[in-house]
Amino acid sequence: NLVAIVILSRGKCGLSTCTTRYLVAMAVTDLLVIIVEVILSRINYYYLPGSFLNITPLCSIVSVLVRAATNCSVWFTVIFSFDRFVAICCQTLKTKYCTAKTAAVVIATTCLLLCCKNVPLYFIYKPLLIIDNTPWYCDVKPNCFTDPIWVGYGWFDKVLTPLLPFAFVVLLNTLTVRHILVASRSRKRLRGQSQAENHSDPEMESRRKSIILLFAISGTFILLWMVFVIEFLYYTITGRGPGSYNDSEYILQQVGYMLLNLNCCTNTFIYGVTQS
């Protein structure tokens, strides 16, 4: 991700400034997810149980950062998919929306709103242990499971990430594919004679590269988030949660988390493969 940020920031990859900004934003948030979720949260929890990061206030901050970084990573994929949808399917809107300035405003606004949305998470935790007047670890307060406000916030959080993004990405890709198929057939008919002369089509080549990049990134997002979405829907419908480390529900849950973290490592590889 660091290498991708440096290379993309130089702006010499044959991509528009607008697309480059979205890719840089995704690379930055993916890197943040790896730092706060994998290193500060997972590795710290399993291998450094006595770390100062397990003090309740710091533990709460890390939890907020994990959720904020994950939300930004997910929604940046959505706004990138929407930008490509506009660029490919909405030619009249393309000149106004698909600009570097608009990309910067959309990225900054999305990041600010998602960070503000996750601030309440800091207040849902209480100390699990108090040792020498120092609060340790984070335990969710019991009233968060019964208070209507907290229950509503929990549902809002789950719907906002990942259910809405999942639905949006599927919808945008479906509409984009439909438009591409119709446009390709029309363009082939118009360029029938040119194709007979084996002339290249710069417009179709540009679209091809953009489409491959879009579908590769959004496609892996759908695949890697699918297990988490299935686990969430299963828990919501049945009300059954993991009871022990050996339960299939727990294994499914942890596989879902693992794939979410893996999603933050794939975009850079995808970019390199699709642009080669």
Which helix (H) or strand (E) segment holds residue 25: the answer is: helix 17-33
| Residue 244, pLDDT score | 63
Under 8 Å CB-to-CB from 203, ≥6 apart: which residues? 187
Question: Residue 214's CB: how many other CB atoms inside 10 A?
Answer: 23
pLDDT tens track for 18-62: 988 998 999 999 999 999 999 999 899 889 888 999 999 999 999
Alpha helices in 90-191 (DSSP H): 91-97, 100-118, 148-158, 164-190
Most confident of 3-17, 181-195, 208-222: 3-17
Alpha-carbon span 160 to 144, nearest angstrom: 18
**Domain residue extents for the chain:** 2-275
Say which CATH class 2-275 falls into.
mainly alpha
- For residue 199, what pLDDT band results from cuts at 50, 70 and 90? low
Dihedral in degrees, nearest 10, Cα atoms 42, 45, 65, 170: 30
pTM: 0.86
